[in-house]
């Protein structure tokens, strides 16, 4: 249904799981996908799989916290039509074994640098070209932690993800007349959770299953398409009906 032929899409953190699912969806729609990951071997594995399915893809390794490396990669790749900010630190490794009052600046550095500052860097790198061409799609993968909060130990992660939501709304207001849309996808509980907790978590989801990378890829494909050109500044809750209040 959605055709991205002739478009170039940069998907950060696409060397596995959700990012790989997004890359597959955009590649299947005809986009040339720049598969980013911090580890080049992971990006290359995803590219090999995409190429095997007759999709166009290139591995692009950089750290989203390194603005100079991002600028160099974007300059080498050429015009970016679609940016999907997927890279982030989350899950069990994002939780701190302490309450907010007991945190210190070092506890906040990683989540903020990746989940917010990394999004800022990538947007800065691609926006001038999008403005010049009068077209662009920016999609940021956020979390229910950014819209609702998810409990003790997640304050730095929640703030980083929440900040990225605000950034998308700001970019939507600033660049709507430039032909650029900016939206967020706030994820609920995904199927990458630990097996021992999956069954219990599934019971909390109205549709009765956890989310998959293909679910996220489908949402991103829609937001990247021309058909979603009147959708901007929005946060799409991709959560199976959970986190609706």
Asked if 168 is an active-site residue, the reply is: no
Distance CA 149, CA 170 (A): 21
Catalytic pick among 2, 157, 222, 243: 157
Tokens of 52: 């095997």
Long-range own/partner contacts, residues 69-78 (CB < 8 A, 24 or more apart): 70/121, 70/122, 70/125, 71/125, 73/34, 73/36, 74/10, 74/125, 74/126, 74/129, 77/8, 77/10, 77/34, 78/8
The shares of helix, strand and coil residues in the chain, as percent rounded to the nearest 5, are 50, 15, 35
Which of 24, 19, 67, 66 has its CA nearest to residue 42? 19
Distances in Å between the Cα of 53 and the Cα atoms of 37, 47, 57, 60, 77 are 20, 10, 10, 19, 22
C-alpha torsion 74→80→82→85, nearest 10: 10
Which ranges of the chain does DSSP label H, i.e. alpha helix?
Answer: 17-28, 40-52, 67-77, 105-112, 118-133, 144-147, 155-175, 195-202, 213-224
Residues in the chain: 245
Question: For residue 51, which phi and psi values (nearest 5 degrees)?
Answer: -65, -35
Give catalytic residue positions.
157
């Amino acid at each position: 249904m959605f055709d991205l032929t002739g478009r170039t899409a940069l998907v950060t953190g696409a060397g596995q799981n959700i990012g790989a699912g997004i890359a597959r969806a955009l590649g299947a729609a005809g986009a040339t996908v720049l598969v980013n990951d911090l580890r080049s071997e992971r990006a290359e594995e995803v590219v090999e799989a995409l190429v095997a399915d007759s999709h166009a893809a290139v591995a692009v390794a950089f750290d989203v916290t390194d603005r100079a490396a991002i600028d160099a990669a974007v300059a080498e790749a050429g015009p970016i039509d679609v940016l999907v900010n997927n890279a982030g630190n989350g899950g069990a490794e994002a939780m701190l074994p302490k309450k907010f009052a007991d945190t210190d600046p070092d506890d906040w550095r990683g989540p903020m640098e990746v989940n917010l500052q990394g999004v800022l860097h990538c947007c800065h790198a691609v926006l001038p070209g999008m403005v010049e061409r009068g077209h662009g799609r920016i999609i940021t993968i956020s979390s229910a932690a950014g819209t609702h909060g998810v409990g003790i130990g997640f304050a730095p992660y929640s703030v980083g993800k929440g900040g990225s939501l605000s950034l998308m709304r700001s970019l939507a207001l600033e660049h709507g007349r430039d032909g650029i849309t900016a939206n967020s996808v706030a994820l609920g509980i995904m199927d990458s959770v630990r097996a021992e907790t999956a069954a219990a978590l599934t019971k909390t989801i109205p549709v009765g299953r956890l989310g998959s990378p293909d679910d996220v890829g489908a949402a991103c494909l829609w937001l990247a398409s021309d058909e979603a050109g009147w959708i901007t500044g929005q946060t799409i809750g991709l959560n199976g009906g959970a986190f609706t209040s």
